[in-house]
Structure 1
Amino acid sequence: MAQISQHFIEHIEKQLPQHISLEELLAACQRPLRKSVRANLLKTTTSELRDQFEKAGYSLLPIPWCDEGFWVDESTQPLPDNIGNWLPHLQGQCYIQEASSMLPVKALLHDLEVNDHSKFLDMAAAPGSKTTQLASLTHNQGLIVANELSSTRLKGLYYNIQRCGLENTALRHADGRQFGQQTPEFFDAILLDAPCGGEGTVRKDEQALANWDINNVRSMSELQKELIVSAFKALKPGGRLVYSTCTLSREENQDVCKHLLMTYPEQVTVKPLNTLFTNADQAITEEGYLQVYPSIFDCEGFFVASFEKLGKSVEKEPAEPASKFTHLTKPSAKQLEMIVPYFNIFGWDLAPLQDELWVKKGKANTQEIWLIGKEIPALNQRLKLNRFGVKLLELNKHGPKIQHQAITTLGHHFTQQIVELTAQQASEYYQGKDIFLPAPEEPPKHKEVIVTYQQNPLGLAKHLGNKLKNNLPRELVRDKAFSELSDHAR
């Protein structure tokens, strides 16, 4: 049972709107949190993912604010504890995400025009739920900068970006308060899902409110004010800023928004969220923000506010030419003569993307070929980016070799050298095992093949006639990978 500080109870009681009962709120905080998942539209469709859950015997309830999200009814059988090892999750078809945390991206994209030149910033991105949701709903259009201050969380963020097939995302490891100065009026839309006290997470973290302290709330609020000002400075005039938290206190929510409005009274306007989804008015504040209490929609507590920066955007040229990287070069004519035909083997014509190819020096005298979006070189002149682009292949003395990231991210372009696996074989592939074929086959002319399951690329293997030699990177091996949800329910 959740431990809730009496100090918090007295604090929040003074702030609750009239239509929210303290007793109902506290009762909701003691109930287990409903599990929810989101379909990644870069890898599957909502109906296809729904079918997989229903086939396993689960009933699904739609999430009102997210067409591709749903709650999983566990009344007849619980979900597996290790659902992260389920094939559709490993393939990036679904993301395990709390329902209310799907709200900020919905607000960010509401009535927003998106194109290939759109620039997004997710200022506090790890573990990647909102970054991947944003890319999913925009179909990899434009450029997303996913920033994370915590170095320990960067690895998980990068893993989810690769798993979910994001082509257009650059990672940055920095304090979000730097963006206002380093990229003034650069981004078309910014999501600041701010670090917060986490009061709304008590249904999954029983200790979230056990040691609640108003001084911690006030300290966090000061950081949030600095972050929201930085985000606003980095936003283009005419752009959209969404501020969100998973906490309940006004100090970290309405008061932070008030600080922004008072700092820029002539430049910012609130975009009310009362029509964001059906029944949104149940959670709307007098300012037009969303304050979702756990007792309203039976989910985590969450706060969402949306703003527009007034004025007309004027595109600024970077201070230096945007055509150079310090550690990358353009491929030579000789390299291109090797690279383009190599990808033709897999049925992908790389020629139209030659201008986006770059060469990086790899280990042991290898050369790495990277596909880097057109918007990234200009951004690289303003910010130090930690990871960006898609690693396509390595060139060594034996010739080119396709890389795992190219397969998981761009594999939908490949039409040749494909071997479709069964559910059992796909599970064994993720367990790092070689796949033995029922009968020896004549290997294809090119032994490197793309293995797929349900037409979704898993990775690379070498066809040796009687088996497929597993080339899955060791760090991605999952010893307990499984294909059927019903067989692994707790």
Structure 2
Amino acid sequence: MAQISQQFIEHIEKQLPESVPLDDLLSACQCPLRKSIRANTLKMSPQELRQEFESHGYKLLPIPWCEEGFWVDEDEKALPENLGNWLPHLEGQCYIQEASSMLPVKALLHDFECHEESAFLDMAAAPGSKTTQLTAKINNQGLVVANELSSSRIKGLHYNLQRCGVTNSVLCHTDARHFGESTPEFFDAILLDAPCGGEGTVRKDEQALANWNIDAVRAISQLQKDLIVSAYKALKPGGRLVYSTCTLSKEENQEVCQHLLDLYGDSIQIKPLTDLFEGANKAITKEGYLHVYPNLYDCEGFFVACFEKKPSDVLITDNTSNQNTRFSFSPISSEHYTSASTHTSLFGWDIGPIKQQLWQKDNRGKSLEIWYLPKSTEKLCRHIKLNRYGIKLMEISKHGVKLHHQAAISFGHTFSKQHIELNAQQAEDYYQGKDIFLDTPIKAPTNKEFMVTFKQTPLGLVKHLGNKLKNNLPRDLVRDKTFNQLP
């Protein structure tokens, strides 16, 4: 049973709309949270995900605000506890994500025109659920900056972006309150899923409301106000800003939005979310925000507000000096492009279409790294320091050219040669870091570097030694327990 502070009950009762009776809210807070999952359309269609689950006896229910999302009806059949070790999840074909947290990206992209030069900012990105949802919806177009203040969460964020095949993102590790000053009017769209009190998460965290107090709410509300002002300043005129939380109190929601409007109401306006999805009217506030209480859609509590910055007649210019000591890349040289393309041709991979986004970086004189960087990365680096850049594709050294794991994960779907399809047991072994022994040994090929796939989905790279495939999966990606079939 969830422990709910009496102070919270008295507090929220004063704020509830007439359409949400207190008893209904408290009753919903005591119910287990429905589990949900989202198809990553960079690698799997919603229809394929649904078919995979239903072939094993599970019942999926569509989430009305996310075409790729489904609730799993566990009254029909319960999910295994370790779903994160299921091969389609490890391969990035799906993402375990709470249903209401799929709302902010829906609001950000609803009727939004994305193009190849669009720049997006996810101000508080870890663990990556919304970033991966965003990049899939825009099909890896443009530039997505995934920022995370917590250093302990950066690694997990990078892992989720990598396994999901994201190629248009860079990672930043900074206090998001600095974006307004560092990157003024740089971004076309910004998602601020703000740090919050987490009141709406009580259905999965029974202690979320046990020690609630109003002072903590007011303290974090001040941080949220600073963040939303920073987001406003970093947004281009004509751009879009979505503010969201997984909490319920108006101090962290409507009052934060009103703070923005009080300061900049002459240049930013609310974009009502009334027609965001069928049934949205149940959660719409008088301002046009979505205030989702746990009992409304049988999910976590959530709040979503959408704003649009009014267009300006003033031409935006980048006056930042080109003298940038933070950017250690240079455009790929003709010599190194020839070496790289000769090697990738062995895999049937033509890197010609991405040549303009290929950059080289010296690795302390030991080798030369070739990277794929999203458009506008160099321009962005004039303003802020990045934690991780794009996709490392390969290294060129005196020993030759060697592909990197990320090259296979991100671009392996275009390889027409040098790949080997594994069976289910071999795929499990690969993720467990084991070498793969072949039933029919052959003479080791001249170029021993191969990609391995499972059900045509790239897993990573191996060294073909004739009688076995030496596992080259990075050690930090090894999983002790994996399974290929849902029970």
Q: Name the SS for the 2:275 alignment partner.
A: coil
1:251-290 correspondence runs (5 A): 251-290=251-290
Alpha-carbon distance between aligned partners in 1 of 2:65 and 2:92, rounded to the nearest angstrom: 21
Alpha-carbon distance between aligned partners in 1 of 2:180 and 2:219, rounded to the nearest angstrom: 21
8 Å CA contact 1:165–1:409 kept in 2: the answer is yes
1:305-384 correspondence runs (5 A): 305-312=305-312, 314-321=315-322, 326-362=327-363, 365-384=366-385
Q: Name the SS for the 2:425 alignment partner.
A: helix
Alpha-carbon distance between aligned partners in 2 of 1:138 and 1:355, rounded to the nearest angstrom: 20
Q: Which residue of 1 aligns with 2:136?
A: 136
TM-score (norm 1): 0.97
8 Å CA contact 2:370–2:392 kept in 1: the answer is yes
Q: Which residue of 1 aligns with 2:100?
A: 100
Alpha-carbon distance between aligned partners in 2 of 1:23 and 1:144, rounded to the nearest angstrom: 42
Q: Which residue of 2 aligns with 1:65?
A: 65
1:32-431 correspondence runs (5 A): 32-312=32-312, 314-321=315-322, 326-362=327-363, 365-431=366-432
Quote the offset at 1:372 in angstroms.
1.3
Q: What amino acid is aligned across from residue 346 of structure 1 in structure 2?
A: F
1:231-250 Cα distance to aligned partner (Å, 9 max, x none): 00111111100000000000
Q: What amino acid is aligned across from residue 383 of structure 1 in structure 2?
A: I
Alpha-carbon distance between aligned partners in 1 of 2:67 and 2:375, rounded to the nearest angstrom: 31
Alpha-carbon distance between aligned partners in 2 of 1:152 and 1:73, rounded to the nearest angstrom: 33
8 Å CA contact 2:2–2:205 kept in 1: the answer is yes
1:20-72 Cα distance to aligned partner (Å, 9 max, x none): 01101001000000100000011111111111111121000000000000001
Q: Which residue of 1 aligns with 2:442?
A: 441
Q: Name the SS for the 1:358 alignment partner.
A: strand
8 Å CA contact 2:143–2:375 kept in 1: the answer is no
Quote the offset at 1:340 in angstroms.
1.0
1:275-308 Cα distance to aligned partner (Å, 9 max, x none): 0000000000011000000001000000000000
1:392-426 Cα distance to aligned partner (Å, 9 max, x none): 01122211100001111111221111111111111
Quote the offset at 1:9 in angstroms.
0.2
Q: Name the SS for the 1:251 alignment partner.
A: helix
Q: Name the SS for the 1:462 alignment partner.
A: strand
Quote the offset at 1:354 in angstroms.
2.8
Q: Name the SS for the 1:15 alignment partner.
A: coil
Q: What amino acid is aligned across from residue 334 of structure 1 in structure 2?
A: E
Alpha-carbon distance between aligned partners in 2 of 1:170 and 1:324, rounded to the nearest angstrom: 18
8 Å CA contact 2:327–2:381 kept in 1: the answer is no
Matching of residue 432 in structure 1 with residue 433 in structure 2 = yes
Alpha-carbon distance between aligned partners in 2 of 1:62 and 1:137, rounded to the nearest angstrom: 17
Alpha-carbon distance between aligned partners in 1 of 2:441 and 2:319, rounded to the nearest angstrom: 58
Q: Which residue of 1 aligns with 2:470?
A: 469
8 Å CA contact 1:345–1:416 kept in 2: the answer is yes
Quote the offset at 1:465 in angstroms.
1.8
Cα RMSD for the two superposed structures: 1.4
Task: Describe the shift of the 1:324–1:355 C-alpha distance in structure 2 as closer, same or farther (beyond 3 A).
Answer: farther
Q: Name the SS for the 2:14 alignment partner.
A: helix
Quote the offset at 1:373 in angstroms.
2.3
Moved more, 422-431 or 325-334: 325-334
8 Å CA contact 1:324–1:377 kept in 2: the answer is no
Q: Name the SS for the 2:71 alignment partner.
A: strand
Quote the offset at 1:74 in angstroms.
1.4
Moved more, 439-448 or 21-30: 439-448
1:302-339 Cα distance to aligned partner (Å, 9 max, x none): 00000000123734224123898642233333322211
8 Å CA contact 2:124–2:176 kept in 1: the answer is yes
Q: What amino acid is aligned across from residue 48 of structure 1 in structure 2?
A: E
Q: Name the SS for the 2:274 alignment partner.
A: coil
Quote the offset at 1:147 in angstroms.
0.7
Matching of residue 8 in structure 1 with residue 8 in structure 2 = yes
Q: Name the SS for the 2:111 alignment partner.
A: coil
Alpha-carbon distance between aligned partners in 1 of 2:121 and 2:230, rounded to the nearest angstrom: 12
Moved more, 409-418 or 473-482: 409-418
Moved more, 327-336 or 69-78: 327-336
8 Å CA contact 2:40–2:94 kept in 1: the answer is yes
Q: Name the SS for the 1:159 alignment partner.
A: helix
Quote the offset at 1:366 in angstroms.
2.1
Q: What amino acid is aligned across from residue 483 of structure 1 in structure 2?
A: N
Q: What amino acid is aligned across from residue 102 of structure 1 in structure 2?
A: M
Alpha-carbon distance between aligned partners in 1 of 2:344 and 2:421, rounded to the nearest angstrom: 19
TM-score (norm 2): 0.97
Alpha-carbon distance between aligned partners in 1 of 2:285 and 2:257, rounded to the nearest angstrom: 12
Alpha-carbon distance between aligned partners in 2 of 1:361 and 1:382, rounded to the nearest angstrom: 22
Q: What amino acid is aligned across from residue 282 of structure 1 in structure 2?
A: K
Alpha-carbon distance between aligned partners in 2 of 1:17 and 1:367, rounded to the nearest angstrom: 61
Alpha-carbon distance between aligned partners in 1 of 2:323 and 2:75, rounded to the nearest angstrom: 56
Task: Describe the shift of the 1:219–1:294 C-alpha distance in structure 2 as closer, same or farther (beyond 3 A).
Answer: same
Alpha-carbon distance between aligned partners in 1 of 2:26 and 2:41, rounded to the nearest angstrom: 36
Query: In percent, how many aligned pairs have the same letter?
Result: 62
Q: Name the SS for the 1:374 alignment partner.
A: coil
Alpha-carbon distance between aligned partners in 2 of 1:30 and 1:369, rounded to the nearest angstrom: 52
8 Å CA contact 1:63–1:70 kept in 2: the answer is yes
Alpha-carbon distance between aligned partners in 1 of 2:329 and 2:377, rounded to the nearest angstrom: 13
8 Å CA contact 1:284–1:290 kept in 2: the answer is yes
8 Å CA contact 2:324–2:382 kept in 1: the answer is no
8 Å CA contact 2:59–2:77 kept in 1: the answer is no
Alpha-carbon distance between aligned partners in 1 of 2:125 and 2:484, rounded to the nearest angstrom: 29
Alpha-carbon distance between aligned partners in 2 of 1:322 and 1:130, rounded to the nearest angstrom: 34
1:409-444 Cα distance to aligned partner (Å, 9 max, x none): 111221111111111111111011111112113444
Q: Name the SS for the 1:67 alignment partner.
A: strand
Alpha-carbon distance between aligned partners in 2 of 1:251 and 1:323, rounded to the nearest angstrom: 41
Structure 2's unaligned 5+ residue stretches are none
Quote the offset at 1:364 in angstroms.
7.3
Alpha-carbon distance between aligned partners in 2 of 1:332 and 1:364, rounded to the nearest angstrom: 16
Quote the offset at 1:349 in angstroms.
1.2
8 Å CA contact 2:324–2:381 kept in 1: the answer is no
